[in-house]
Amino acid sequence: MKIAVAVTSDFDKIAGHAGRARRWLIFERDGQDILAPKRLLLAPERVFHFFRDAMPPDLLGIDVMIARSAGERLLARLSTMGVVMALTAETNPLKAVSDYLGQGLAPPKPRPIGSLICKTIDALAKHK
């Protein structure tokens, strides 16, 4: 199982807005063990916002994605691809992966204003 976690610029904390995330930690599960993550830095034109109906090639083969937020279109698109998107309030990537696998991932915090801003940006974005 491969789990991709959207992270901040220092690869230290979980980032919000998965559709614009350039930095990801890719975790693999080997039996009960979680292997050390690999760092992935996407070019700006390879983030989800530029892949309307497809997975960015660098993220092919991912089973689960974790971030603090994601737009409704991205959630629906990932669902049709068989990829689970787990949103969380957790900020530690390894803890989030462990909690997800243990079915105890903290739910995301409500963000009504942030959600409205994201929807507006998405509506005005020029997706491919």
CATH of the domain at 107: 3.30.420.130
The residue range of the domain holding 53 is 2-124
For 65, what's the count of Cα atoms within 13 Å in the CB-facing half-sphere?
30
Nearest to 86 by CA among 27, 3, 9: 3
Nearest to 91 by CA among 109, 117, 110: 109
pTM for this predicted structure: 0.86
Task: Work out the mean pLDDT of the chain and round it to a whole number.
Answer: 88
pLDDT digits (tens, 9 = 90+) for 112-121: 565 656 666 6
pLDDT digits (tens, 9 = 90+) for 25-67: 999 998 889 999 999 999 998 888 777 677 888 999 999 999 9
Number of domains in the chain: 1
Which tokens go with 2? 């491969």
Q: Looking at residue 128, what is its pLDDT? A: 47
Report how far Cα 59 is from the mean position of its chain's Cα atoms. Answer: 10
51, 78 contact by CB (below 8 A) = no
Residue 92 has pLDDT above 80, yes or no: yes
